[in-house]
């Protein structure tokens, strides 16, 4: 074996140093070529990745838009309901003399005790039991806050506890006329008298009243009297 030659322990062939340098050079060239190929492949795949990302973003936008539209229509369907009512009965109440408590923290307290009264309707008929009343409050020169508690004894022997609160509002002039006990001289369109009505009873026949919300439209038919037409909100 000459100094110029040596035995390749792996391939068993004789390679000159120059040849070894060439071999390493080929490996380096192949490695660089592979790296350039990988880079080209990466560059060529970028548009595909961008396209895929855009598709995902577009799909997400379409999904969010669809959810928004569905929720919008669902919202409209839920709240697009008509307010329906059903006549329950007319309530006519005779009042005892007013008890003037006078100025308190929130206004002027006036108590209107119930003397008697009647309830007449298709579903409820009876009489107003004594000792009910309106624990009202004069808020200012145009507004009276209604706060009523009473009992209806029906013709078929049931007791119905009735409560309602609301407002009597009018111009200062008309409010003074009502305060003087001359509300019957005014038309119901000259003032606002509305109340939210609720009931309590243990009677199986009238148990449906326990979960019924009602509205009362009031008027002053004569001195010492107040009347409400009661409607159930369906």
CATH code for the domain in which residue 202 is found: 2.40.160.20
Is residue 223 a contact partner of residue 98, using CB atoms and an 8 Å limit?
Answer: no
Q: Which residue is it, tokens 């379409």?
A: 62
pTM score > 0.75 for this model? no
**Cβ neighbour number for residue 207 with a 10 Å cutoff:** 13
Mean pLDDT, to the nearest integer, of 91-118? 97
- Long-range pairs, 42-51, Cβ under 8 A, ≥24: none
Token pair for 231: 């409607």
Q: Which of 81, 99, 125 is the last residue of a domain?
A: 81
Q: Domain range for residue 191? A: 85-233
Query: Do residues 58 and 161 share a domain?
Result: no
Distance (Å, rounded) from C-alpha 118 to C-alpha 125? Answer: 8
Pair 65, 98 in one domain: no
Are 195 and 118 part of one and the same domain? yes
Q: Is the pLDDT of residue 113 over 60?
A: yes
148 and 220 in one domain?
yes
pLDDT of 182 > 60? The answer is yes
Domain boundary among 31, 53, 81: 81
Alpha carbons 118 and 124: distance in angstroms, whole number: 10
Residue 31's Cα: distance from chain center in Å?
69
73 and 118 share a domain?
no
9-62 pLDDT per residue, tens: 444 444 444 444 444 455 445 555 555 665 565 555 555 555 556 666 677 666
- Do 101 and 209 have their domain in common? yes
Domain count within the chain: 2
One domain for residues 75 and 95: no
Q: Could you tell me how many helices (H) and strands (E) the chain has, helices first? A: 2, 10
pLDDT for 82 beyond 90: no
pLDDT above 80: residue 86: yes
Least-confidence region, from 59-68, 115-124, 144-153:
59-68
- Which of 47, 65, 81 is the C-terminal boundary of a domain? 81
75 shares a domain with 99: no
Say whether both 34 and 135 belong to one domain. Answer: no
Question: Does the structure show a pLDDT above 60 at 70?
Answer: yes
Beta strand 126-128 with 133-138 is: unpaired
| 113 and 125 housed in the same domain | yes
Q: Which two structure tokens, joined as six digits, stand for 230? A: 């009661």
Q: Return the closest-CA partner of residue 144 out of 196, 180, 107, 96.
A: 107
Query: Could you tell me if 41 and 115 lie in one domain?
Result: no
Query: So what's the pLDDT on residue 64?
Result: 74
Residues 108 and 209 in one domain: yes
């Amino acid at each position: 074996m000459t100094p110029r030659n040596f035995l390749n322990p792996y391939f068993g062939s004789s390679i000159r140093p120059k040849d070894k340098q060439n071999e390493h050079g080929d490996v380096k060239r192949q490695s660089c070529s592979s790296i350039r190929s990988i880079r080209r492949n990466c560059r060529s795949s970028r548009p595909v990745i961008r396209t895929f990302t855009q598709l995902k973003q577009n799909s997400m936008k379409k999904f969010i838009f669809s959810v928004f539209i569905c929720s919008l229509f669902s919202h409209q369907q839920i709240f697009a309901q008509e307010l329906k009512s059903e006549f329950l009965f007319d309530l006519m109440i005779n009042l005892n003399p007013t008890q003037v408590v006078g100025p308190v923290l929130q206004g002027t307290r006036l108590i209107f005790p119930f003397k008697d009264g009647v309830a007449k309707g298709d579903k409820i008929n009876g009489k107003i039991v004594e000792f009910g009343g309106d624990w009202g409050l004069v808020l200012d020169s145009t507004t009276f806050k209604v706060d009523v508690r009473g009992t209806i004894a029906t013709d078929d022997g049931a007791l119905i506890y009735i409560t309602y609160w609301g407002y009597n509002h009018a111009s200062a002039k008309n409010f003074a006329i009502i305060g003087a006990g001359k509300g019957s001289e005014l038309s119901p369109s000259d003032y606002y008298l509305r109340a939210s009505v609720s009931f309590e009873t243990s009677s199986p026949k009238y148990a449906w009243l326990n979960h019924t919300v009602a509205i009362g439209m009031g008027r002053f038919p004569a001195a010492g009297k107040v009347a409400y037409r009661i409607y159930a909100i369906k």
